[in-house]
Structures are given as structure tokens and as C-alpha cells.
A and B are shown apart, each in its own frame.
Chain A
Amino acid sequence: MIRTVVVAAGLILGLSAVVAQSDPIAQRRDAMKAVGAATREGAAIAKGEAAFDSAKVQMIFKVYADAAKRLPALYPETAKSGGETTAGPKIWEDQGGFKTALAKFETEAVAGGAAAKDLDSFRSAFGAATKNCGSCHEVYRIKK
């Protein structure tokens, strides 16, 4: 088991390193798209449209935490514009603030995973973690 995980992790890391070098914009957009997809599943559970499923819930918070971990490295000075990025200039003007916002998202995602034992605790943890979406997008994102 451990070996499979290590190998898989190695593969993913290796792969993302290669792609990240060539295209950080595509990388960070994919990370955020995964966050969006996880949020769709979380919202369905929170609204009672899908059953509470512990494994799925853990996965959601893990996708959040992973994205928050990967994102800081995907905003180099060389990838401010181009492609279909919606990254705002504020990310580079206030790198400290952007990293703090990501760190807060990661902390709350990890705490959410630990707290979400049943539907009620999931709802409140999911509600807290997803408050980060709008507040970060408000400052660090611009639709063009």
C-alpha cells in the first residue's frame, strides 16, 4: 500500500514538475478546476442531494489542501499574463498576502477534514472552508 502511494505520488510529482515547468498557467488553472469540481460534490452533500460519504468528504478537503500547497509555486513573475489566466495583478503586488490567503485555505481544509465526522460537522467545516473562495477571488482574481 505504502509503496503504491509513494510510487503514485512520485509519478504525480514528476509529471506535474514537467508540466509546471512548461506551463504554470495551465497547472494552476487545473488545480483550481479540481477545487471547483470538489466543491460541486461537497455542495451536493451539504444540500442533501447526495448522501454523506466519509471517503468522499475526506477527498474534498484533500483536494483543497493540495491545491493550496501547490499554488504558491505556480505564480512566477514570468507567468503574469497569457493563456486564459484570470489571475489578478494583486498576486504579484502583494505576494505575502496571497500566500497568507492560501495558507489559511490550507489550514481550514486540513481542520475541516479532521472535523467532518457526520453531515452536521461536514456542513459547518465545508461552509468555513468555502468562505475562502470568494474572499480570495475578490482580491486576487480578475475576469478579462
Chain B
Amino acid sequence: MRRLFLTLGIFILLGLAGFYVFTDPRVVSPAPEIGTLPPPDVENGKLLFAAGGCSSCHATPGQDDKLRLGGGLALPSPFGTFHAPNISPHTRDGIGNWGVKDFVDAMATGVSPSGQHYYPAFPYTSYRLMPPKALADLFAYIRTLPSVEGRAPGHDLPFPFNIRRAVGGWKLLFFDGTPFRPDPTKSEEWNRGAYLVQGPGHCAECHSNRNALGAIIPSTRFAGGPDPEGKGFVPNITQHADGLANWSKSEIAEMLKTGFTPSFDSVGGSMAPVVRNIAQLSDADRMAMAEFIKSLPAVAGPPRPKKAE
């Protein structure tokens, strides 16, 4: 009996130690070359800021200037309510005293300058596809925006979701930290679209079904699912008959610019701000995104909830 307890105790200790080791947020920075990067291209940073929809979450709510990144927007989820932080260049309340490496590590590995894991409510799960050079451009652009005073409220998460360290376990299971690798067998346009849709555009973060731990289920990526914020249903955008099989490439590009679908409905809900952002890209970039989306294999989405009668 004593032995059994001892063995159990050892197993538990080993488990805890394993948890501790494997959830260690210390990162191998993806950006050893940071010191050697050329001067940042602020225009490219501005484009990535629009493609990434950063202001949809980080702009101070209740005012019209989408470039005031004071944070505070509440983001409800099945795990509790997150609040987007202040990412304006304010030195005390925002990210004004961050270095380029801090920013690159946050966006590409989901680890903060003080060495803590970020929750995937911040879609670094997609943004990590942006290479260090692109992230440095984005950082340079954000530094040109107004500095906003005031910290956003903390997250409102029940136990055990309030343990940041546990996010390390989540990452171990679900986070792929590799940057975007172009597919040499595909066209340049397709690769540009694949990068914009999967990286900064983070389209799959909404257009996918998630498992019980809030991670995207790879087999039904892009095939739609319940809205992550619990409001309605996000449509399938693969080439399935319930998805975009009947949309032409230029119809997809047109919707991303004007919001009008081929049947002249106008997309609403959380897609409306996405369109406002993607409309700031060039026609060529929107066509590239459409080229990639037209190449997504047809996948049936999860069943839609029954309509209330």
C-alpha cells in the first residue's frame, strides 16, 4: 500500500515536472536575424495592419478613430471574456517601450516580453505565418499611430482558464509555429493569396469549427462553424456546394472589396469590418486571395443548428 502511494506520488511529481518543462514559455526567437533587417517599410506595415484587422479588436470601442489602439473591447468566448489590450505606442499603457524582437516574438510565437503565453483569442496562431521582416514593418507602422493612455481591463476567465501557463499545454497540442513557406509548384499569385488568407487575413479563425479546447479542427478548416463569439453561424468558404462552389474568382474579390455577394446581399455581422479592412488592399491582392480560396477542396461543414420555429 505504502509503495503504491509512493509510486503514485512519483508519477504525479513527474507529471507536474513534465507540465512545467513543456509549458515553459521561454522561446527560441524566430528572428535571430533581427539586427540585420533592412530599414522597415512602413507602407507594407500599413497594408498588413489592414489585412490583419488589428483595429477590429484593438481600437478603443465607442469612438470612430480606428487608429486609436487603446484596447478594451470585450471578446466573449466559451472560456470567458477576453479584453483586447492597449497596443498603441504609449510607453506605460501600450507597447511603446517594446523592441522589434518583443513584437516579433509576440506575433510569431505567442509569448510576451515578460515570458508569458498569450491566449489564442489573439490570433497569433495565424499571424505567425508572417516572416520577421513583415512583422518588423507592421511594428514600424503601429509606432506611427497615436499613443493612447489607459490600460484595458484584464480578462475575465474562470478557473482553470485563468492559468496562463496551461496555454503552454494547449500550444504543445495545437500550435504550429512555422512561418509561411511558399509552394513552388503553385503560381506566384496563388502563393500571395495563400499567405494573405492564412497569415495576416486569419480567415480560418472565424470560418472553421473548433474542438472542445477551442482549437480549429484541421479537417474542416474553412468549412464554417458557429461564430466564436456565440452569435450565429459563419459560412463555409471551401468549394463545397454549401460554400463558394458557385462563386467565381472575381465575385469573391468583388465581395472582399464592396461586401456584395453575387446575389447582391451585403455581408454583415463580423464580416463587415473584415471587408472594410480588406477593401484597403489592392485589386491584385484581393484577386490573389480569391485565387487561393477557389483552390480550397470542397469540404462539408458541421451541421448548422436547427432553426427555431
Q: Nearest-CB distance from A33 to chain B (Å)?
A: 9
Of all A-B residue pairs in the complex, the 9 with the closest CB atoms, nearest first, are: A137-B268, A138-B272, A133-B266, A142-B232, A36-B264, A141-B268, A40-B264, A134-B259, A81-B308
A135 nearest in chain B by CB position: B272
Confirm or deny: B158 has a beta carbon within 8 angstroms of a beta carbon on chain A: no
Instruction: Give the Cβ gap from B266 to chain A, nearest Cβ, in Å.
Output: 4
Contact B272 A84 (CB under 8 A): no
Which of A40, A130, A144 touches B305 (beta carbons < 8 Å)?
A144
Minimum Cβ distance to chain B for residue A124 (Å): 15
* Contact yes or no, A141 B264, CB < 8 A: no
List, sorted by A's number, 15 A–B pairs whose CB atoms are closer than 8 Å: A37-B264, A39-B260, A81-B307, A82-B307, A82-B308, A83-B307, A130-B266, A134-B267, A134-B272, A137-B267, A139-B268, A141-B269, A142-B268, A143-B232, A144-B307
A interface size (C-beta, 8 A)? 23
B302 to chain A minimum Cβ distance, whole angstroms, is: 13
Task: Report B164 CB to chain A, min CB distance, Å.
Answer: 32
Which residues of chain B have C-beta atoms less than 8 A from A88's C-beta? 231-232, 269
Which of B265, B276, B304, B307 is the most central at the interface, judged by chain A CB atoms within 10 Å of its CB? Answer: B265
The answer, yes or no, to whether A31 is at the interface (CB within 8 Å) is no
A83 to B309: give the CA distance in the assembly, Å: 7
Of chain B, the residue at the smallest CB distance from A139 is B268
Contact A137 B308 (CB under 8 A): no
Query: Do A133 and B232 touch across chains, with their CB atoms under 8 A apart?
Result: no
- Which of B234, B235, B265 sits near A36, CB closer than 8 Å? B265
Given A37-B264, A134-B259, also A144-B273 (CB < 8 A): no
Given A39-B264, A141-B269; A134-B232 close (CB under 8 Å): no
Q: Check: A110 CB closer than 8 A to any chain B CB.
A: no
Interface size on B, residues (CB 8 A): 25
Min distance, Cβ B71 to any Cβ of chain A, angstroms: 21
When distances are taken between beta carbons in the complex, the residues of chain A under 8 Å from B260 are 39, 43, 133
Q: How far is the CA of A140 from the CA of B232 in the complex (A)?
A: 12
Give complex CA distance A76, B309 in Å. Answer: 16
Given contacts A40-B264, A43-B260, contact A137 B307 (CB under 8 A): no
User: In the complex the two chains form, what is the Cα distance from A144 to B309 in whole Å?
Assistant: 13
A contact residues around B305 at 8 Å (CB) = 144
Contact with B along A94-115 (1 / 0, CB 8 A): 0000000000000000000000
B246 to chain A, nearest CB (A): 16
Residues of A49-82 contacting chain B, CB below 8 A: 81-82
Tell me the smallest distance from the CB of B234 to a CB of chain A, in Å.
8
B235-283 contacts to A, CB under 8 A, are 235, 258-260, 263-270, 272-273, 275-276
- A138 interface neighbour in B269, B304, B308, Cβ under 8 Å: B269
How close is B305's CB to chain A, nearest CB, in angstroms? 7
